[in-house]
Structure 1
Amino acid sequence: MAWSLLVGAGLLEIVWAIALKQSEGFERLWPSVIGLGAAVLSFAMLALALKWLPVGTAYAVWVGIGTVGVAVAGIVAFGEPANALRLGCLALIVGGVIGLKVIG
């Protein structure tokens, strides 16, 4: 259950980051509302997951899911660069998150 909450919180981190990008500095109502709502729900789910998971591992997984997800969304949806070095760094993040899950 805790890992499901944590993964859900990480996925919501992707949602709120992209929604805030789309809000254009809180000038657009619905992306702003979605972004803030997703952020609150993401934090709440992270807080619940932390009742059962080590904080270092949980936070790294949460941030890792969000970081990789937003970076991939930036590449796919916003035309951000996808060079080998950038993709390699994202692979290192994924490897670190998997390592923390395995040893945690």
Structure 2
Amino acid sequence: MNWILLIIAGLFEVGFATCLGKAKENSGNNAIMWYLGFLFCLTISMVLLVKVSKELPIGTAYAVWTGIGAVGSVVVGIFVFKEPATFWRVFFLSTLILSIVGLKFVSK
């Protein structure tokens, strides 16, 4: 169950990074709504990370959480913000994913 919560926490990290990007593109009330979304996602992500770090090793939990956030943010950047999907970006993104999966398999 803790691994599922950690994945959800990582997805909310992607959410708060996405909200920051969208807030940058907007102004006025739209930007405020994106900043509120950022605060909501940040809160949920942190609460879940604190919860799972009580059961999972903090080094593993934090690495997986940031890895999910990093991978998700790059994918959102490519598909939502039209950032380039160069060979090297995809290559290193793949190595990051393999590292996250590896950490899960070597952790108790």
- Which category describes the TM-score, using the shorter chain as reference length? over 0.9
User: Percent same amino acid at aligned positions?
Assistant: 38
Cα distance in 2 for residues equivalent to 1:55 and 1:26:
36
Alignment of 1:99 with 2:92, yes or no, is no
Alignment of 1:18 with 2:50, yes or no, is no
- Decide whether aligned partners of structure 1 residues 83 and 3 sit closer, same or farther in structure 2, where only a CA change above 3 A counts: same
Give 1:48 deviation, angstroms. Answer: 0.1
CA deviations on 1:57-93 (whole Å, 9 max, x unpaired) are: 1111100100000101101111111011110000010
1:64 to 67, 86, 91: 67
- Decide whether aligned partners of structure 1 residues 25 and 46 sit closer, same or farther in structure 2, where only a CA change above 3 A counts: farther
- Decide whether aligned partners of structure 1 residues 78 and 26 sit closer, same or farther in structure 2, where only a CA change above 3 A counts: closer
Cα distance in 2 for residues equivalent to 1:38 and 1:75:
20
Which sections of structure 2, spanning at least 5 residues, go unmatched? none
Aligned pairs for 1:81-92 within 5 A: 81-92=84-95
Kept after mapping to 2: 8 A contact 1:10/1:66: yes
Cα distance in 2 for residues equivalent to 1:6 and 1:18:
18
SS in structure 2 of the partner of residue 82 of structure 1: coil
TM-score under structure 2 length normalisation = 0.91
TM-score under structure 1 length normalisation = 0.95
Kept after mapping to 2: 8 A contact 1:16/1:39: yes
Amino acid of the residue matched to residue 37 of structure 1?
F
Paired position in structure 1 for 2:33: 30
Give 1:25 deviation, angstroms. Answer: 8.5
SS in structure 1 of the partner of residue 24 of structure 2: coil
- Decide whether aligned partners of structure 1 residues 49 and 34 sit closer, same or farther in structure 2, where only a CA change above 3 A counts: same
